[in-house]
Chains A and B, each alone.
Chain A
Amino acid sequence: MTKRTSLLSKWEAYLREPFPMLVGLSMNRIFHGSNSSEEEDVNLSMGILLTLLAIPGGFVSIFLFDKYGSFLQWLRGQTNFDPIAAALPDEYFFIVLSMVVTGGVAVWWWDSIFPDRRDFANLVHLPLPASKIFLANSVAVVISTGVCAIDVNAASSILFPVVVGGSQTQLSFVVRFAGVHALVVVLASIFSFFAVFATAGLLMLLLPYHLFRRISRYVRTLIATMLLATLATSFAVPRMIEGLPRSLHSPLRFLPSAWFLGFGQLLHGTSDGALARLGHVAVAAVASACAVAAATYTLAYRRCFVRLPELADTPTGNLGTRSSSIFRLLDLFIFHTPFQRAGYRFALKTLFRNEVHAVSLGGSLALGAVFASQTLLSALNEKGVSPRPTAAELSIPLILGYCLLLGVRFVFDIPAHVQANWIFRFLLDTNIHEAVALARRIMLCFVMPWLFLAVLPLYIHFWSWTIAFLHIGFITVWFVLLTEVLLVGFRKVPFTCRYPPFRPAAVVAVITCVLGYFAFTAMTSELESDALASPIAGGFCFVISLAVWYAAYRIRRRALAGENHLMFEATPAADFEFLHLSDSG
């Protein structure tokens, strides 16, 4: 037996020891979700998840070739190019990106970081000391954090230094820059992860368990919003950094991403006093986040995990029927058939009573809010309110609507307690169904009321009645078209189908959503802006909307011609298909 095989077999034997086995179980729970979401979560495989996490850093690094390429600098006449100074805004962006992605992962893993009821049911009656289960879970959390931090930053830690150092003659510059960049972004990731973890632990420790469970979804949405707001600082902060030495009371002192930028500059040896101070704060912040997370985790473990059976026996509150009058009103005007009425009630209650669904929708709304506020601020900073709305000002409701519609469509695919879908299988005729009609109405119910309650008064206030009503008209058309496009091929009762169809093509789906965002928000608002200026452009706009609607209609017709039955068990795309070449003749 070779030395390598012997080491491998020793490692395999070690993995079959009780402790590594417990660590493996905990890691599986962290990556695949807790028992509250058994088989129902988006539940991406570890490979797809790690690929998705690594994509943003790699993409952004590649886009930066344009900025740092020596030939392009020469063309631009940049002869005295200081790569470290030039890289400051990009360095900041990567820090923010690493914090947002890792923090987002921690928010997603919120429920699975701690051992759950399934662990309790399977492990606690076995002859294992409670400390062993605790220690194994702690090790799993640390390993998962490490894997996540390295994965999120791996691409940028290799590509970004290569891009920045492309014009440098010394390899040592690239190596040193890469080392500093990797350390800074990984520490930023670790800080972000443990800050979220510490928040969860602290809330679990301070609040009664049922209250913790109840407010979790709001806290997760709030953290997601804060993370996305941090992402929005990537344009403003690098400019503010320049004025930092003169401004002792700069709000940047409170921004964690700025601490890590300071830490990076400290390691590069290019920081002034103010940035160096921020750099020291970064080190203290990482240590504090880890310490608070460890302490709260230990105490919360003792308080919650050990007492899980007692918590299970605590009765839950009355769900109430406060919204029945709203439902009756909607029944009257929007949901006309029994299926639509029952489906809407089911969908709404599923959305708001299941944490994964509520947080996913909240996250997409938060994303919209951050993008919209950033677009609005930059539009107002440029010109103030102009007599006729600019494309940026017109795009605000479109941004919010896009994120919300996409969010609702996305959560429709996340199954909720699929074992309970037998009632729909039992009661519905799978060949004659109104799945699209129901989904369309639900999606539009999420966005349309806001057009009249918020958008219309605001546009009347800032511009005029005519512009406000025209804008509402345009947006309504675009929202309906987007809904139609998003529902192409949809034939399920929301939340009742086991397998999310985007799973095999998750990477492609994410890229399509990003491109769709630009197409929907930027292009349509430009078109509308032109249409408000000239009737010819308005006509062009009308033709485009008609074309989009017709394309969606045709695609749906073609899809329905093949299979139209209601779906409860989506099957993944086949790895190969028979071409039946012999049948052609």
Chain B
Amino acid sequence: MLQAIGLSKYYASIPAVENVTFDLKAGEILGCVGPNGSGKSTTVKMISGLLEPSRGRVLFRGEDIHRDLVGFRKNLGYVPEEPNLYPYLSGREYLEMVGILRGIPQSRLGKKVDSLLALFSLYPSRHSAMASYSKGMRQRVLLLAALLDDPEVLILDEPLSGLDVSSALVLKSLIRALGQQGKAIFYCSHVLEVVERVCSHLLILRQGTVLAAGPTGEIQRRIGHASLEGTFHHLVEDVDPDKVTQEILDVVREA
């Protein structure tokens, strides 16, 4: 459903992402992991059409997304990394605005927004300005905004950030259910345990390039590690955590 072909992005000739290729099919949940500065956010921005690639293409149902960006975004739900919302709007007002801008008929919108707000435990504070919301509440608003129009493709950048345990459990279950319903989900996160549990496929990035891509189980089998953490460490990390820990303790204890 969503294909990235040879995606590259350069900032003043410095590559942030180089030759990233993957194919996200309907029903697949592709987990994107990598250390800081590996190009995850740049990749997310390129596949959601927020950033034009320096080279390469992003195809949605075989068509370049930049040919009909508005058409692509009708089918896209996006949760950005930072919950940067309008603080002077209430949660309900924000979701209504997103619904109207997405072209959802107003006859359906109010009821849908209220139902979703109630299911995500935001109903009691639906009329409060989002300036007073906690990070988790803002994150839930963003998730609702992404799901509001039942999109075909979901791009989630650290969607669990700030969520409490029960909301996180609901979201993980919801992502799996959406995948089973045939949605294509691109899931970007640092939390390897969740990626391992939720994602059917993996894309491991390091310094802007793809280190490994494919079904989660197959990558783990190939590397020979039972856990994703072990696989990730094997592929990505070039530091010895025990050694660094000891060095930090030495500096902290210094008189």
Contacts and interface: CB of A to CB of B under 8 A. Distances in A.
A271 interface: no
Given A39-B87, A122-B98, A313-B16, 12 more contacts: A22-B101, A25-B97, A39-B131, A121-B80, A122-B85, A122-B86, A125-B80, A126-B98, A127-B70, A127-B71, A128-B70, A310-B51
A572 to B, nearest CB: 15
B73 A309 contact: no
B51 A16 contact: no
Interface string A32-72: 10010011000000000000000000000000000000000
Contact of A122 (B41, B74, B84): B84
Contacts of B51: 309-310
B16 A125 contact: no
Given A310-B11, A313-B11, A314-B11, A123 B101 contact: yes
Contacts of B131: 39
B8 interface: no
Give the one of B42, B45, B48, B86 with max A CB within 10 A: B86
B103 interface: yes
A129 interface: yes
Given A17-B100, A310-B11, A314-B11, A32 B88 contact: yes
A127 B100 contact: no
B71 A125 contact: no
B144 interface: no
A42 to B, nearest CB: 15
Interface in B84-99: 84-88, 97-98
A206 interface: no
Contacts of A21: 97, 100-101
Contacts of A25: 86, 97
A310 B41 CA distance: 11
Contacts of A32: 88
Contact of A313 (B42, B97, B103): B42
Nearest to B14: A315
Contacts of A16: 100, 106
A310 B50 CA distance: 9
A144 interface: no
Interface string A312-325: 01100000000000
Interface string A1-36: 000000000000000111001100100100010010
Contacts of B97: 21, 25
A127 B74 contact: yes
A35 B131 CA distance: 12
A388 interface: no
B73 A126 contact: yes
B35 interface: no
B29 interface: no
A129 B101 contact: no
A121 B84 contact: yes
Contacts of B60: none
Interface of B: 11-12, 16, 41-42, 45, 48-51, 70-71, 73-74, 76, 78, 80, 82, 84-88, 97-98, 100-103, 106, 131
Nearest to B76: A125
12 contacts: A16-B100, A18-B101, A18-B103, A21-B100, A25-B86, A118-B84, A121-B80, A124-B50, A125-B73, A126-B101, A126-B102, A127-B73
Q: Which label, helix, strand, loop or mixed, suits the secondary structure of the B interface?
A: mixed
Interface in A540-579: none
B224 to A, nearest CB: 35
A28 B16 contact: no
Contact of A127 (B45, B82, B85, B103): B103
A125 B103 contact: no
A117 interface: yes
Give the one of B70, B100, B101 with max A CB within 10 A: B101
A118 B86 contact: yes
A127 B88 contact: no
Contacts of B76: 125
A570 B40 CA distance: 41
Contacts of A35: 84
Interface in A72-113: none
A12 B85 CA distance: 24
Contacts of A121: 80, 82, 84
A16 B107 CA distance: 12
Contacts of B48: 125
Contacts of A117: 84
A123 B70 CA distance: 12
Contacts of B80: 121, 125
Contact of B70 (A18, A118, A122, A129): A129
A129 B16 CA distance: 27
Contacts of B103: 18, 127
A89 to B, nearest CB: 43
Of all A-B residue pairs in the complex, the 8 with the closest CB atoms, nearest first, are: A127-B74, A127-B73, A125-B78, A121-B84, A309-B51, A127-B70, A309-B45, A118-B84
A421 to B, nearest CB: 15
Contacts of A128: 70, 73, 101
A125 B81 CA distance: 13
Interface in A431-456: none
A18 B97 CA distance: 8
Interface string A479-511: 000000000000000000000000000000000
B204 to A, nearest CB: 21
B76 to A, nearest CB: 7
A232 to B, nearest CB: 38
A22 B102 CA distance: 12
B8 to A, nearest CB: 13
A21 B103 CA distance: 12
B236 to A, nearest CB: 21
A32 B101 CA distance: 22
B156 to A, nearest CB: 12
Contacts of B88: 28, 32
Contacts of A314: 11-12
Contacts of B86: 25, 28, 118, 122
A124 B73 CA distance: 9
A38 B82 CA distance: 14
A379 B76 CA distance: 69
Contacts of B102: 126-127
Contacts of B73: 125-128
Interface string A292-335: 00000000000000000110011000000000000000000000
A312 B181 CA distance: 35
Contacts of A124: 50
A18 B100 contact: yes
Nearest to A43: B88
Nearest to B75: A127
A18 B86 CA distance: 16
Contacts of B98: 122, 126
Contacts of B12: 314
A315 to B, nearest CB: 9
Interface in A120-178: 120-129
A352 B102 CA distance: 42
